[in-house]
């Protein structure tokens, strides 16, 4: 009786395998589907976008560094104060708040760098020169950022003065 059960089990497995194989031949394989999709993507009329390569020169050292340059709106605001057309109070206020945020962000970055500078002690045993050189580089970077901070503060002062000259109150030029 054990042999009959084994034969019945093998027979059932063979039928199941044959049924699965027959069903599998009706549906396309995953490889066929992938090829078909690649061909559809590459079909004429459908242009594939070429990937953009970004180089180190295009990436600012810090994300905030990219926003340090005066925006077009800020440039127009400063020029408009001398050329005549009056900018709305809300525009002035928005531009001044943006500039204040840039100044605060830059000041925070400088503070973080200055706090992270730690020169190697005099009794340092290994890699002292490299460590100290890295700290000096941080110091030089903080000094460059300090110059940028002074420029940003000057721009803020100019914007505030321009808004004041156009007759707006301190709620606009000193929010």
Question: Would the pLDDT of 79 be above 60?
Answer: no
pTM comes to 0.48
Q: Is residue 154 part of a domain?
A: yes
- Angle made by CA atoms 92, 96, 98, in degrees to the nearest 5: 120
Question: Would the pLDDT of 66 be above 50?
Answer: no
pLDDT of residue 19: 63
- Find the range with the poorest average confidence among 47-56, 84-93, 99-108: 47-56
Give the span between the Cα atoms of 70 and 117, in whole angstroms.
Answer: 29
Cα 168 versus chain centre, distance: 36
Q: Is residue 33 part of a domain?
A: no
What integer is the mean pLDDT of 8-31?
68
Q: Is residue 56 part of a domain?
A: no
pLDDT of residue 115: 87
Question: Would the pLDDT of 71 be above 60?
Answer: no
Q: Is residue 127 part of a domain?
A: yes
Q: Is residue 129 part of a domain?
A: yes
pLDDT of residue 96: 86
What integer is the mean pLDDT of 18-32?
65
In terms of residue numbers, what domain contains 125?
70-173
Is residue 155 within 8 Å of residue 91, measured between CB atoms? Answer: no
The set of residues, in sequence order, having a beta carbon less than 8 Å from that of 72 and lying 6+ positions away, is none
* Count of the separate structural domains present in the chain: 1
What integer is the mean pLDDT of 18-30?
62
What integer is the mean pLDDT of 154-167?
87
Burial of 16 (0-12, 13-18, 19+ CB in 10 A): exposed
Where residue 34 falls among pLDDT bands split at 50, 70, 90?
confident
Residue with tokens 């290994």: 126
Question: Would the pLDDT of 108 be above 70?
Answer: yes
Q: Is residue 36 part of a domain?
A: no
Cα-Cα-Cα-Cα torsion 31, 34, 38, 43, nearest 10 degrees, comes to: 90
Q: Is residue 49 part of a domain?
A: no
Closest CA to 79 of 174, 166, 173, 167: 166
pLDDT of residue 68: 47
What integer is the mean pLDDT of 164-174?
78
Q: Is residue 40 part of a domain?
A: no
Give the span between the Cα atoms of 171 and 163, in whole angstroms.
Answer: 11
Give the span between the Cα atoms of 145 and 68, in whole angstroms.
Answer: 10
pLDDT of residue 146: 92
Which range has highest mean pLDDT (12-21, 111-120, 126-135)?
111-120
Could you count the other beta carbons within 10 Å of the beta carbon of residue 94? Answer: 16
What is the C-alpha end-to-end distance of the chain, expressed in Å? 95
């Amino acid at each position: 009786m054990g042999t009959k059960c084994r034969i019945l089990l093998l027979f059932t497995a063979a039928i199941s395998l044959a049924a699965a194989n027959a069903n599998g031949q009706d549906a396309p394989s995953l490889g066929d589907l992938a090829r078909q999709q690649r061909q559809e993507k590459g079909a004429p009329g459908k242009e594939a976008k070429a990937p953009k390569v970004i180089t180190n020169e295009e990436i600012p050292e810090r994300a905030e560094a990219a926003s340090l340059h005066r925006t077009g709106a800020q440039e127009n605001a400063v020029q408009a104060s001398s050329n005549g057309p009056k900018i709305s109070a809300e525009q002035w206020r928005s531009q001044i708040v943006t500039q204040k945020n840039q100044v605060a962000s830059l000041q925070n970055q400088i503070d973080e760098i200055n706090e992270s500078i730690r020169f190697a002690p005099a009794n340092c045993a290994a890699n002292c020169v490299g460590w100290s050189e890295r700290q000096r580089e941080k110091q030089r970077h903080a000094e460059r950022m300090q110059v940028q901070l002074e420029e940003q503060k000057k721009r803020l002062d100019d914007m505030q003065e321009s808004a004041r000259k156009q007759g707006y109150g301190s709620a606009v030029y000193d929010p």
